[in-house]
Amino acid sequence: MTSTPTISFELNRADLRARRNAKWSQYGPDVLPAFVADMDFSVAAPIQTAIERIVRDRDYGYPMREGNKAELIVAKSFARRMKALYDWDLSPDLVLPVADLVQGTYAPILAFSDPGDSIILQVPSYPPFRDAINGTERRLLPLPMRDDGTRYAFDMSELETLVEEGTRIFVLCNPQNPTGRVFRRDELLSLAQFAIAHDLIVISDEIHSDLVYPGQQHVPFASLGSEIASRTITLNSATKSFNIPGLRCALIAFGSEDLRERFEKRIPLRLAGQGNIIGVDATVAAWNECQPWLDAVMDHLLKARNRIKAVLKAEVPEIHLHAPEATYLAWLDCSKLKLSTSAFQFFLDKARIGFSPGESFDPNCASFVRFNFATSTPILDEILDRIIIAARQSDS
């Protein structure tokens, strides 16, 4: 009987400091970064092999794969993965590879709405969503994710009061960033019925769908039926779950051919861009060969998530969180610390931790921070120690 080989991916602080990425370069050496969604892990071996092959062969020309344009292999790999994981039948012809997921957010907003139209967005939310709405002269209608005592949830009756004559789009983030919610099928069905009733396009960002913890199940919004699929734009990428955000390869999946045709009438495909060949090959390797690496990472992240919850409950009960159902991001409510500054500024000044500011996800959330806990166990423990010491000093 052979044993499963141990997969090593944790990087030490010296290795991380030597990197030239935003996470470990933005602050000085005394600050532990826990902000931008970048994991402190080495990539899976098949991804590295795919990249090294391109570099070894100096293969930097216009790419083809399997006799077709290289981006088609991304579409086929994604469609196979959706079928295998969720039994979602998606034609590769309805998948448009793009260079960047934020770009994939702007494009359908421009395609399916006009300046002055309104767009519903769950808040708190990933900041580029709000930027995409405001920056294109659309009106943002915020749908609050409220703490119901067990999780963050939206209220359908509240949603009904938001919609107005000029509402064109609902932006769904599932799993939700920053709260870590994985929406249940019944919640998604209610949203689907709402979208159909009000003739809305749904932009569903599902980039964290691989990062779901035991007890939860991701449901692709477009898989709920042909009627809702025909008005759903799905955004996804391997960049978050396989830790390759700098390689710039993402996709837009259309729920119907008509939806894609409507999109292309307003957005020239040349403006959509394409993933570069290194991003393409890395993405295909991730989806086709790297599930064992991801399984090992998820086991590590589950332990980290549970440790954060237990330590804060025991040592700093004033900091509240619902353990995220997905993602490696914890949404910390620090309002009971009664700080005189934002929670972000407090922990930066007093603990030398660089969290993501809560107010960047919602202007009303200055007492929150988003904690990226995808790091090694020693670094995680040091961050927790610093949180405890700083929080206790705030009471004195």
For residue 1, the model assigns a pLDDT of: 39
Domains 13-43+291-395 and 62-288 share a fold: no
Fold of the domain spanning 13-43+291-395: Aspartate Aminotransferase, domain 1 (3.90.1150)
C-alpha 306/C-alpha 219 separation (Å) is 24
Question: For residue 344, which phi and psi values (nearest 5 degrees)?
Answer: -60, -50
**8, 41, 96, 194, 353 from 296: Cα distances, Å:** 9, 11, 30, 38, 26
For residue 5, the model assigns a pLDDT of: 61
Length of the chain: 396
Decide which of 3.20.20.370, 3.60.20.10, 3.40.640.10, 3.40.190.10 is the CATH code for 62-288. Answer: 3.40.640.10
C-alpha 394/C-alpha 334 separation (Å) is 11
Domain ranges of the chain: 13-43+291-395, 62-288
Residue 57, token pair as written in the block: 């062969």
Amino acid present at 89: D
> Is residue 46 within 8 Å of residue 290, measured between CB atoms?
yes
For residue 63, the model assigns a pLDDT of: 82
For residue 306, the model assigns a pLDDT of: 98
For residue 3, the model assigns a pLDDT of: 45
User: pLDDT of 225-263, one tens digit each?
Assistant: 999 999 999 999 999 999 999 998 999 999 999 999 999
For residue 278, the model assigns a pLDDT of: 94
* Of 294, 306, 314, 295, nearest in space to 373 by CA: 306
For the chain, residues with pLDDT lower than 70 are: 1-5, 395-396
C-alpha 13/C-alpha 380 separation (Å) is 11
> What pTM does this model have?
0.95
